[in-house]
Chains A and B, each alone.
Chain A
Amino acid sequence: MISSRILLNRDELVVKQRLIFRLRTEAVMATSNPSVFLLTVNGQIEGANFPEYDNLYCKYCFVYGHDWAPTSGLEEGITQITCKGSQSSHRLIWNFPLETTFKSTNPSGWPQLVVSVYGPDVFGNDVVRGYGATHIPFTPGQHTRTIPMFVPEPTWRVQKFTSWLLGRRPEYTDPKVVAQGEGREVTRVRSQGFVTVSFHIMTKDMKKLGYDTGPSSPANAQSATSGWSTEEQAYDT
């Protein structure tokens, strides 16, 4: 029994060693010559400025190209409904966190954040109040984006009336339409307010793959212990 136990242990050991070896090689591979780069988007949908409307909520999603894949975090989300405060600013605050990490092999199709704002109309129907999109900032660091919003307009004036009456405003077949340019020429839109989003961007291995997006100042170069940095420069040291 003992011998068999030892044997088993030895087997386990071998397996373990193999495993460790593999992990190590993987780790080496990962640090020395990565095949993907990572982009972490933290931040929040801070709020919106829709002077005419109240009780709005916001949906968001990311649109990205073929070479991108989200590795962690939520790709889509819906915020709570927010009413305007009594303060003078009349801003709608959501403070809805965004936390997503993407990996990619190619900067083409860089992720875009698509937000669409909805809220009830006079009759309580849920109608869209605005679509908007913005690219995730390229450079590591903190960014704030104010996204101008717009909604598609009814084709005919009669439709404008009936859509108001029936509470079915024209909507995009897909909110992601606003992240692409193709086919937009057939639509007519009306601008409608602003959504403010703040981003904290981190990238990893971008520079190693030959994409330099960071500012050229070699500031605060720190150790690359975490592997994450807001400064791509860290990898040079």
Chain B
Amino acid sequence: MKEPPGSVEDPGENLRRTFRAQRQRRKKRLLEQSSAQESQDDVDEISTIQPHSEDEASAEKAADPEVLSRLPTGSQRGLSSRLQHTAGSQHLDDSVTRHLEEKLRAARSKGESLQQEEASREPGSRLQSLRDRDTVTRFDREVDPDRAGRHDVPLDLGAKVKFREAARQTEKGLPTAEEAYNFFTLNFEPDPQGGTERISRKRQKQKKTAGGVRDEEGENEAEEQEDGEVDDDNQDENEDQSEEAPLVRDEEEDLFIIEQSSQDFLEVRKAEYVGYRKRIQRERESELLFTPSFRKVPTSIKLPENMEPRYLEDEGLYVGERPPVSLTNENILENRILKMEEGKEWFGDDGRIMALPDPIKESSTRPPLFHMEEVLDPALQTVYRKALKSKYANLYITGTADPEGDYQLDVDVSGLIFSHHPLFSREHVLGARLAQLYDQYLTRQHNNLTGHLTDKLNGLRSALRNMLEIHGGQSLTEAMQQRISEYSLEVRNTRQLRDTEQEKDRTLLKNIVKVWKEIKALRDFQKFTNTPYKLYLRKENINRATDEREYEDEILAEVLELEAESEEDYQRKLAEYKKQLEEWKLSRRKQKSKKKKRKKKKGQVQDDTEEEDKDQELSESEGPVDEGPPKPEPPNKPDFDSIEQRVREKAFRIRRKPGESILIPELSASGNITASELCPRAEIARREDVARRSLFIKILYNDKEVSRTDSRSLNTDFRVHFGQIFNLKIVNCPQSINLQVFEEIGSSCSLLAQVFIPVPEPSVLTGSVPLEEFEFSSNQRVMFDHEGVGSDVPLSFAADGSNKQTLLTSGKVSCCVSWGIGEDDVPLAPPVSQQPGGIHSGLGRLDAVTYIGASGLYDMKKIGEWATQSRLDPNDPTNVSIMQLLKVASSGEVTAPGYFRLEQLQEEFNFVTEEEFESSRRFRLLRLRNQEVAEFRNYKYVPALEREVTDKMFQDYEKRLKEGEIIDTKEHLDSHRALVAKYLQKIRESVINRFLLAKHHYLLSDLVIEEEIPSIGILGINLFKLAEPKRPLRPQRKERKKVTAQNLSDGDIKLLINIIRAYDIPIRRPQSNKPAQSPQTAIHGSDWLTNQVQVRPFVEVSFQRTVLQTTTADGPNPCWNEELQLPFSAPNGDYSTVSLQSVKDDVFINIFDEVVYETGVNDRGSGKSVHTRAEKHWLGSVRIPFSTIYSQSRIDGTFKVNTPAVLLGYSKERSHGNNGGYDTLRSLSEGAFITLFITIEPQLVPGESIREKMKEVKFDSQEDERLLQASETFEREAAQAYPDRPCFTTVIDLNGKTVFITRYIRPLNPPQELLDAFPNNPQEATALVARFVSLIPSLPDRVSFSGVCDLWSTCDQFLTLLAGDEEEHAVLLCNYFLSMGKKAWLIIGTAIPEGPTAYVLTLEQSRYLIWNPSSGQYYGQYDTFCPLQAVGCLVNADNVWLNIQEYTSPMRMSFDNTKGNLWKPFFSRSFSHPGLSSVQPEELVYRRVDKAAAAELQDRIEKILKEKIMEWRPRHPTRWNRYCTTTLKQFLPKLELSGGQDVAEGHRHELQSLLGDNRISGFPLHLPFSEIRPIIEAVYSTGVHNVQASNVEFALAVYVHPYPNNVLSVWVYLASLVRT
């Protein structure tokens, strides 16, 4: 064995020889061990194949000789087999391999165990493949020492390695063999050179001997050693052929020594540290790093040798512009490229890097889409697709703090076993069946049910026997009998069970044997074997005698029992039979007696009525039915002989024959499989097909592929082993884990089957779970032309082809899924607490929607299913609703509701029942308030308790509701008006509804106060303002701060009324010509002297039931200059803008004359006291609605006082000379005037925003869209330029449609009667027409419609409704004037006190007249007392002109609308009048004057007024002076004729003469008639009834003058007479 290191031939031979010997020896051993090793191998294999990467690593390591020597033991066969080719064993001698192969084949043919075969075959095939490979340079062999050196640096520290030296060596690059040799030799020998060789040789020798010893020992060693040896062998061979063989081998051998002796040379040193810089340097030096320089590369290098650079540009060819690259970068790139092999290919002819011209285009190449103009081509249309959300995208595991999720699922895919595969041969099919049956047998055997049941039966029998024996059958108590019968029943049941089990056992065994026979027959038939199955039937001999005895005993026992049972049965039946027989007999007897009776009856009553006959017939027909049960059959006696017969038959069938040995089948897979060579062609084809196939498994998590196994080839036994574990870091809730089995044939692969694996419970952790098998099957149809049976193909084993069966591809995947375990043994599973039930559905449980889907929520069954599966905690309050739902569902039959539950849990939200809710007054109140019903809109403090809500609260509301339906004819006096009122109400409601919608529409300006965007000019002014003096000499009046209405409360707001002065108050007229009688004489003597007649007026202001009065002033032109403060309270305390706008209260300003009477002089005592009585006489009034004050924020001006036409006791004669200054002003108008200033303190923000909002609520319109737009712009511009000038071009008609304003103007004929009245005097006629218009009652829209929306009715509508506001009056008046041939316009402007309103302008004799349509008054343009304050625009049928003059006051402006610089027309040349037709009718038709109705009304009013006055004077008698009344009545028509002008003085004189010495004070009131209530109020406000004198008498006269079309003028003459 001592060989010189130079010659390796001999040891090689030697090794080969030993190897051969080993093989043979091993063969023998394996035969013995084969069966035992089978299972073990299985396990081993799994472990080897699992960590793939590790395998590689170890393989790499194995390249180290050091590791080589430490040969793996035991199970690592696969590993070591790999070593062979990594070690570069391609130089293996051919002979050796052939040898090997031969041996292997021999071994295989001898039929070793399955795994054994595989293991041995694999290396063989590998070797073959390796032989085919040609490259794998020797280079890697050379590298080895280097690598080893590097690796060893840290490892071998212990072995006195002089590291630095070694490092120096490595620094030089790849060490030569010599260096390596030196390195290794020097390492453990501190003294170099000298003894090295010697020692090494010595070592070698030692090693060799050791090797030899080992070789010998190897015989006893495990077979695994073999591969290592082979490897050794290979290496030796390598060395054999290499040049440097000795050195390399030496080195190797030395390494062995290192291993052996390293511990001997152990020395402790501190760890060496190599700095990073150093390492970098080293690496740089070793040229691992390359830094390209950025110096320019000379062209010559870049071009192929001897080539001149060629410039294409110079040759006149076009070269595109190159993309810009910085020079440095280009240089770097070039340098880098040059460093590469074939780098020059990158350079063009000009020596520059080849580059395409700049790929970026200057302009977009996408075709422009002109879809603005025309319809886009449908192909180019962009289609909107909704973004789809992945189903599981957001189902994060609840409770995960970070979305990364520390959860890990380990999917262990162990392997795959086919129970059927298309490539199964027939034998395989049978084999699989056999295996299945055997499995079944084993499990049955394991459970041993038969044994158990037999034992039980025996036990029961003995117990029964004991019981019977003890009691001896004599004193059996009831309980005992009961028990005995129970026992026997039990015995019977058990016996039956045992029998079936036994039968099953028997058939199973038979089947096994049958299948095995079939296999054997098949094998014989086809002359080869495909499956290794072998069935042994082990016979267990038994004592025949005992067995037979037992058998007989058993049968006997059974027979006895059966006999007893049948006896019992028989007895029972017999008893039953007897009972039945008794019954039968009884019934029989009864029938007989009945028949007899009947016969008797028949005899007695022969000639009875037919009825009885019928009866009889009936009873007779019943007769047969009554016959009772048929005669029972007596039961058969049990046949005891047959019982035994049967028992024996059964026993024969299901039980082993007595004495027959027990057969125990044993299935082993140890049979040999016929080698392919010996098989027929078809079988070979099948086997080849099998070999071609490989399988892999895809793992799908939540339907997404997350991983897949390696593809493994299909084995001949149709088992595939994967043995891979996949760790899935999961973020989303596990919904499904799915394994897809793929079969690969060549490059194509097909899905075989899918296996769904349940998500494990959180407690299932890796390591603690056994592998589970999941069955799968596929219904693919596969057919082959070779031996493979295919799938889904009928198959028959019978010779005649009968008994066909169809097999589908199926099998089992063995795998397991579990939650991973982290580093510190922390389970990477979601917390268990989240799922107390630990359920299959995993984490989806918590959310019902994810589990059953949203649509499932309506499916009661699904919810129930979900609830039971997720094991909802019924006590958890969050689950109450669901539990309740389920309870409801489960209590009744679970029927899906036939309706769609839109509000699923609505009932849960109801806190009271529906009826309770409806009946409760409190809830009603709350609801009504919420609906903003007017009566309750701002109702405060809804009582907390039901009983505190009284029905009274709803009275008003209910009354109103009723009123809406029933028209109170009594109130309205006139049925026509009632209808009108109803109609108006309807319109009003519709408008209010529309308005309510608009109210909830907010603009930014409603919520946010913001500075307007200032123009440059304003900005400049503001900047200029900064330089202004702080206290200018002429300070400008500053606006009061406006207060938003919301944060106000009662008492905060006051109405300031400043009464300045009055003009032309009527003065008293002495009653008679006797001045001495005048009561004033004494008091105002001096006045009397200077001015004989006088008046002492004062002003009384009443507002919201507060009455204040000024001091009394003197004379007809008094000056009070007093400020009165009246508190204001909003309805319901709601100070919102809307509510303030709807305040209907008026401010009444009444002027009274204070008259003081002396009642007598009291001389009692010493002092002389004079008793006087003050009376106030009403002189006139002004009424200003609060809404006007609110919207205008202040009212400042002189108003005409409404004075009665006749004031008894007063004269309106002007006192000339006194106030000369006003004469000119007064010349144009008549009547008294008062100057007022009214405002609200603090100033409220007027609710103008709503008006704007209303514009947003678009009304329908039939107008042209262009016209509407133009009008909108016109209005907007007007509003911007002149915010204080009302201007509108469109209005809303009664139908709620927008109509252009000019359509309202059209000449319309006034009633002919009016024109006929003054045929010669057009002036008078005009006045009469105006009067007629003013007599139509006025109904302000603003108040009724919350002050927002003016509705314009056409003239015919207006005349039908007989109600309207200023606009309607103005339009009607204007239309009349136009038809009378006048030039008339509508003025849209602002007036006092109406606010924004409409007047009429006429041009007469080059003089403009302004008409107030609601009063019938007219004013000249320059009249100071004209109530029209500002003119916004003029309207006629053709156009609208906006006032663009500087001033708005009529006095200071020109009405010549032809002037373009003063009036801006709406329709101009650029936008001409489109020829709008009028909305007015062509002609107005008037109803005739109805005098009778007027007379009737007159009487009624008089009656009502009289009643009222008496009512107002509850403490005093009210006497009526009839004489005076009749006199007054005569005056009234005259007054009407004169148009309310002061009639002749004669009137008064007449009265005076008639009534003599009565002091009369009184006046006629004139009103247009709409309703009776205003008349009453007007009468009341004059205060005539307040006269307290005891001797007062009253006179009341009413006159109603009818005008056409039911327009009525009402006169009320009221007077008080005091007898003097």
**Complex contact B942–A106 (CB within 8 A):** yes
Contact with B along A77-94 (1 / 0, CB 8 A): 000000000000000000
State whether the Cβ of B316 lies closer than 8 Å to any Cβ in chain A.
no
Q: A residues within 8 A CB of B1047? A: 61, 174, 176
The 8 Å CB contact of B1013, one of A61, A158, A183, is A158
Q: A residues within 8 A CB of B948? A: 35
A41–B1007 CA distance with the chains assembled, in angstroms? 29
State whether the Cβ of A186 lies closer than 8 Å to any Cβ in chain B.
yes
User: Chain A's nearest CB lies how many Å from the CB of B1610?
Assistant: 43
Q: A residues within 8 A CB of B940? A: 66-67, 69
User: Chain B's nearest CB lies how many Å from the CB of A139?
Assistant: 18
A170–B1009 CA distance with the chains assembled, in angstroms? 5
The 8 Å CB contact of A66, one of B941, B943, B945, B1008, is B941
From B431-439, B819-827, B997-1005, give the one contacting chain A: B997-1005
State whether the Cβ of A21 lies closer than 8 Å to any Cβ in chain B.
no
**Complex contact A33–B945 (CB within 8 A):** yes
The 8 Å CB contact of B1006, one of A35, A154, A173, is A173
Q: A residues within 8 A CB of B1046? A: 174, 176
Question: Which of A67, A152, A176 has the most CB atoms of chain B within a 10 A radius of its CB?
Answer: A67
A187–B940 CA distance with the chains assembled, in angstroms? 30
User: Chain A's nearest CB lies how many Å from the CB of B1537?
Assistant: 57
State whether the Cβ of B110 lies closer than 8 Å to any Cβ in chain A.
no
State whether the Cβ of B1530 lies closer than 8 Å to any Cβ in chain A.
no
Question: Which of A37, A168, A170 has the most CB atoms of chain B within a 10 A radius of its CB?
Answer: A170
**Complex contact A183–B1009 (CB within 8 A):** no
A44–B816 CA distance with the chains assembled, in angstroms? 63
The 8 Å CB contact of B944, one of A36, A159, A166, A168, is A36
**Complex contact A37–B944 (CB within 8 A):** yes
A173–B1022 CA distance with the chains assembled, in angstroms? 24
The 8 Å CB contact of B1008, one of A37, A185, A187, is A187
**Complex contact A184–B1011 (CB within 8 A):** no
The 8 Å CB contact of A172, one of B939, B941, B942, B1009, is B1009
**Complex contact B1007–A187 (CB within 8 A):** yes
Q: A residues within 8 A CB of B1000? A: 182-183
**Complex contact B1019–A162 (CB within 8 A):** yes
User: Chain A's nearest CB lies how many Å from the CB of B279?
Assistant: 48
Residues B344-389 near A (CB distance < 8 A): none
A189–B1414 CA distance with the chains assembled, in angstroms? 50
Residue of A nearest to B1011 (CB): A168
The 8 Å CB contact of B1010, one of A34, A36, A155, A209, is A155
A105–B1014 CA distance with the chains assembled, in angstroms? 50
User: Chain B's nearest CB lies how many Å from the CB of A162?
Assistant: 6
Q: How large is the interface on B (under 10, 10 to 19, 20 to 34, 35 or more residues)?
A: 20 to 34
Known: A106-B926, A173-B1009. A186 touches B945 (CB 8 A): no
Q: B residues within 8 A CB of A159? A: 1010-1011, 1013
State whether the Cβ of A163 lies closer than 8 Å to any Cβ in chain B.
yes
A182–B943 CA distance with the chains assembled, in angstroms? 26
User: Chain A's nearest CB lies how many Å from the CB of B1503?
Assistant: 45
State whether the Cβ of A99 lies closer than 8 Å to any Cβ in chain B.
no
Q: B residues within 8 A CB of A156? A: 1013
A116–B485 CA distance with the chains assembled, in angstroms? 93
Contact with B along A184-215 (1 / 0, CB 8 A): 11110000000000000000000001000000
User: Chain A's nearest CB lies how many Å from the CB of B493?
Assistant: 57
Q: A residues within 8 A CB of B944? A: 34-37, 104-106, 209
Q: A residues within 8 A CB of B115? A: none
State whether the Cβ of A121 lies closer than 8 Å to any Cβ in chain B.
no
Contact with A along B948-965 (1 / 0, CB 8 A): 100000000000000000
User: Chain B's nearest CB lies how many Å from the CB of A185?
Assistant: 8
**Complex contact A186–B1013 (CB within 8 A):** no
State whether the Cβ of A223 lies closer than 8 Å to any Cβ in chain B.
no
Contact with A along B1460-1476 (1 / 0, CB 8 A): 00000000000000000
Question: Which of A66, A163, A174, A176 has the most CB atoms of chain B within a 10 A radius of its CB?
Answer: A66
User: Chain A's nearest CB lies how many Å from the CB of B529?
Assistant: 80
Residue of B nearest to A158 (CB): B1013
Residue of A nearest to B939 (CB): A66
State whether the Cβ of B1525 lies closer than 8 Å to any Cβ in chain A.
no
State whether the Cβ of B938 lies closer than 8 Å to any Cβ in chain A.
yes
**Complex contact A155–B1004 (CB within 8 A):** yes
**Complex contact B1011–A67 (CB within 8 A):** no
A105–B948 CA distance with the chains assembled, in angstroms? 11
Q: B residues within 8 A CB of A108? A: 926
**Complex contact A183–B1006 (CB within 8 A):** yes
Contact with A along B1001-1035 (1 / 0, CB 8 A): 01110111111011000010010000000000000
State whether the Cβ of B1058 lies closer than 8 Å to any Cβ in chain A.
no
State whether the Cβ of B1044 lies closer than 8 Å to any Cβ in chain A.
yes
User: Chain A's nearest CB lies how many Å from the CB of B203?
Assistant: 76
State whether the Cβ of B929 lies closer than 8 Å to any Cβ in chain A.
yes
Q: A residues within 8 A CB of B1011? A: 159, 162-163, 166, 168, 170
Known: A35-B943, A182-B1002. A174 touches B1014 (CB 8 A): no
Contact with A along B1037-1057 (1 / 0, CB 8 A): 000000010110000000000
Known: A33-B945, A67-B941, A108-B926. A173 touches B1010 (CB 8 A): no
State whether the Cβ of A177 lies closer than 8 Å to any Cβ in chain B.
yes
A174–B939 CA distance with the chains assembled, in angstroms? 22
A212–B208 CA distance with the chains assembled, in angstroms? 98
A126–B1010 CA distance with the chains assembled, in angstroms? 15
Q: A residues within 8 A CB of B929? A: 66
Contact with B along A41-64 (1 / 0, CB 8 A): 000000000000000000001000
Q: B residues within 8 A CB of A177? A: 1007
Residues B961-1008 near A (CB distance < 8 A): 1000, 1002-1004, 1006-1008
A174–B1002 CA distance with the chains assembled, in angstroms? 14
A80–B1007 CA distance with the chains assembled, in angstroms? 27
Q: B residues within 8 A CB of A105? A: 941-944
Question: Which of B939, B1013, B1044 has the most CB atoms of chain A within a 10 A radius of its CB?
Answer: B1013
Known: A174-B1047, A177-B1007, A183-B1002. A35 touches B1013 (CB 8 A): no
Q: B residues within 8 A CB of A184? A: 1007
A145–B72 CA distance with the chains assembled, in angstroms? 72
Residue of B nearest to A151 (CB): B1008
User: Chain A's nearest CB lies how many Å from the CB of B916?
Assistant: 13
**Complex contact B1004–A163 (CB within 8 A):** no
**Complex contact A186–B1004 (CB within 8 A):** yes
Residue of A nearest to B937 (CB): A66
**Complex contact A69–B1009 (CB within 8 A):** no
Q: B residues within 8 A CB of A155? A: 1004, 1010
A67–B940 CA distance with the chains assembled, in angstroms? 5
A156–B1008 CA distance with the chains assembled, in angstroms? 13
Residue of A nearest to B1132 (CB): A66
Contact with A along B402-426 (1 / 0, CB 8 A): 0000000000000000000000000
A61–B1046 CA distance with the chains assembled, in angstroms? 13
**Complex contact B1014–A170 (CB within 8 A):** no
Contact with B along A13-54 (1 / 0, CB 8 A): 000000000000000000001111100000000000000000
User: Chain A's nearest CB lies how many Å from the CB of B923?
Assistant: 11
A171–B926 CA distance with the chains assembled, in angstroms? 33
Residues B899-955 near A (CB distance < 8 A): 926, 929, 938-945, 948
Q: B residues within 8 A CB of A183? A: 1000, 1002, 1006-1007
10 nearest CB pairs, A to B: A183-B1002, A105-B944, A170-B1010, A152-B1008, A186-B1004, A170-B1008, A66-B940, A171-B1009, A168-B1011, A209-B944
Can you name 12 A-B pairs with beta carbons within 8 Å? A35-B943, A35-B945, A66-B940, A156-B1013, A158-B1013, A163-B1011, A168-B1011, A171-B1008, A173-B1007, A173-B1008, A173-B1009, A173-B1044
Residues of A at the B interface (CB closer than 8 Å) are 33-37, 61, 66-67, 69, 104-106, 108, 152, 154-156, 158-159, 162-163, 166, 168, 170-174, 176-177, 182-187, 209
Residues of B at the A interface (CB closer than 8 Å) are 926, 929, 938-945, 948, 1000, 1002-1004, 1006-1011, 1013-1014, 1019, 1022, 1044, 1046-1047
